[in-house]
């Protein structure tokens, strides 16, 4: 087994800083509830909120899609919910990766029903090749090829989340 570096620690830091600046500018004079979707978001979320220069409320949730786009149509099972009422507030959902798009579209459907003032999505990675559900990603760090990536929060069977870079896992 080997791991090839796909996106370096330096490139991630640069891009996260740019996203933080963009978000700070877009929400200037406002407050933001930033909701991380666990587990994969945790490193990205930690770095991103430190680059956002407006007041933020930090929340986490855990959700999994039913995994079948033909029957689930964007519904998720929420295993851990946020504590705050988001009605009338600006909400930014932070994901590690949008792959089929089922998780994020389900989370957005659920949150929209709670009547936020605004709802936007920020994702570290986007794999367009496997998209099944149309999703709007308002802030994206990197679009990637159809490869299984690990590190910087993302796991392979629970391991490698601590890697400071994004890598490609090779079985050989």
For ligand 5GP, the binding residues (CB under 6 A) are 40, 65, 96-103, 148-150, 154-156
User: Going edge to edge, which strands form the sheet with 149-150?
Assistant: 2-7, 166-170, 149-150
Is there a contact between 38 and 80 (Cβ–Cβ < 8 Å)?
A: yes
* Least spacing, CB of residue 159 vs ligand 5GP, in Å: 10
The radius of gyration of the chain from alpha carbons, rounded to an integer in Å, stands at 16
3-state DSSP call for residue 81?
coil
Per the annotation, the verdict on 99 as an active-site residue is yes
* Least spacing, CB of residue 30 vs ligand 5GP, in Å: 27
Active-site residue identified among 99, 110, 138, 172: 99
Query: Minimal CA–CA distance to 133: which of 66, 62, 41?
Result: 66
Q: Sign of dihedral through CA atoms 151, 125, 36, 21?
A: positive
* Least spacing, CB of residue 102 vs ligand 5GP, in Å: 4
Catalytic residues: 99
């Amino acid at each position: 087994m080997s791991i090839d570096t796909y996106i370096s620690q330096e490139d991630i830091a640069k891009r996260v800083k740019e996203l933080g600046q963009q978000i700070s500018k877009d929400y200037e004079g406002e407050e933001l509830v930033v909701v991380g979707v666990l587990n994969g978001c945790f490193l990205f979320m930690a770095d991103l909120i430190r680059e956002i220069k407006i007041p933020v409320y930090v929340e986490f949730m855990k959700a999994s899609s039913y995994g079948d786009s033909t029957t689930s149509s964007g519904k998720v099972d929420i295993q851990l919910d946020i504590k705050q009422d988001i009605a009338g507030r600006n909400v930014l959902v932070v994901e590690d990766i949008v792959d089929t798009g089922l998780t994020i579209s389900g989370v957005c459907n659920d949150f929209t029903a709670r009547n936020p003032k605004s709802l936007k999505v920020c994702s570290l990675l986007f794999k367009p090749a496997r998209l099944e559900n149309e999703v709007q990603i308002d802030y994206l760090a990197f679009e990637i090829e159809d490869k299984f990536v690990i590190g910087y929060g993302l796991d392979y069977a629970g391991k490698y989340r601590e890697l400071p870079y994004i890598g490609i896992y090779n079985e050989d």
